[in-house]
Structure 1
Amino acid sequence: MQGEPLNIKKWNIIYPVYINSKKTVAEGRRISTAKACENPTCIEIGDCCNYLKIPFAIELDKAYPRDFMQRGRVRFQLKKEDGSLWNPEIGSKKQLMLRVAELIPKHQGRMKKQEPAANTTTTAGSSKSGKGGKKKK
């Protein structure tokens, strides 16, 4: 158990900024906007690593150095102790970032959020016009 944290310190890191389509390269995005996803979270990245059978650790208390308001990061391990890959399809950090960015829009939490959002925009539009009518009176 004590050896585990030492190993985690050597694991690679993905900050959500790396795959955020809303960020620029100067702000820290590492993949193209076409392949990136909108505002990913550490939990979503962790779930994707779990789905891809890659060991990971979420560190919510850590911040991105260029933007300290962006909290959280995910540490992951691509290779086992013997040097073989955990997932043969993913051999590099970039491949993992691309795969995670591809999976996040299909994430369960995202699917649930999008459905009510579509309903609230239609009701919000009608309530705004109702408020506008009250102001005119």
Structure 2
Amino acid sequence: MDAEMQNIKKWVIFYPIYINSKKTLAEGRRINASKACENPTYAEIYDCCVHFKLPCAIESEKAYPRDFMQRGRVRVLLKREDGSLCNPAISSRKQLMLNVAELVPRHPGRTKKQEPASSSSTAVASKSGKGGKKKR
């Protein structure tokens, strides 16, 4: 594995923007918007690559050139030195993007986050209804 790690510069780069349904093709999305997922993070993409048993590494300090505020990317090894695929089900960069985009919405961190968010937004709405007048 160490020999592969030294060669990380040759691995495929995967920015979260590539599969973000909120972005346009001009902003950097690379797959169909209907197949893309909403605001994926590099950590979620990394977990999905681990799930597919692909060697991968997080580069959290790197930024997407067209949107440098978006930090983080994942490097993934699709093919070994001898040209054989690490995961026979994923033969190309596009295939990887489609598979990851399908998996991210079911990510354990994501399913837990959405439930409290919906209840807290209703709580905030009910609080804002009270006390319409300011005290002088």
- Using the size of structure 2 for normalisation, the TM-score is 0.92
User: How many angstroms does 1:6 deviate by?
Assistant: 3.5
User: How many angstroms does 1:4 deviate by?
Assistant: 4.4
What per-residue deviation string (whole Å, max 9, x for no partner) do you get for residues 31-76 of structure 1?
1111111111111000000001011010011111111111111100
User: How many angstroms does 1:82 deviate by?
Assistant: 2.5
The count of corresponding residues between Structure 1 and Structure 2 is 136
Q: As a proportion of its length, which structure holds more helix? A: 1
Which residues in structure 2 correspond to 1:19-98 (within 5 Å)? Answer: 19-98=19-98
State the one-letter code of the partner of 2:41: T
**2:7 is the counterpart of 1:7:** yes
What per-residue deviation string (whole Å, max 9, x for no partner) do you get for residues 72-102 of structure 1?
1110011123222111111000000011011
Cα distance in 2 for residues equivalent to 1:107 and 1:122:
24
Cα distance in 1 for residues equivalent to 2:32 and 2:90:
18
- Using the size of structure 1 for normalisation, the TM-score is 0.91
Cα distance in 2 for residues equivalent to 1:80 and 1:4:
8
Runs of 5+ unmatched residues, structure 1: none
Cα distance in 1 for residues equivalent to 2:26 and 2:37:
17
Q: Kindly, what percent of the aligned residue pairs are identical?
A: 67
Which residues in structure 2 correspond to 1:94-105 (within 5 Å)? Answer: 94-105=94-105
Cα distance in 2 for residues equivalent to 1:5 and 1:96:
20
Secondary structure in 1 aligned to 2:61?
strand
Which residues in structure 2 correspond to 1:97-136 (within 5 Å)? Answer: 97-132=97-132, 134-135=133-134
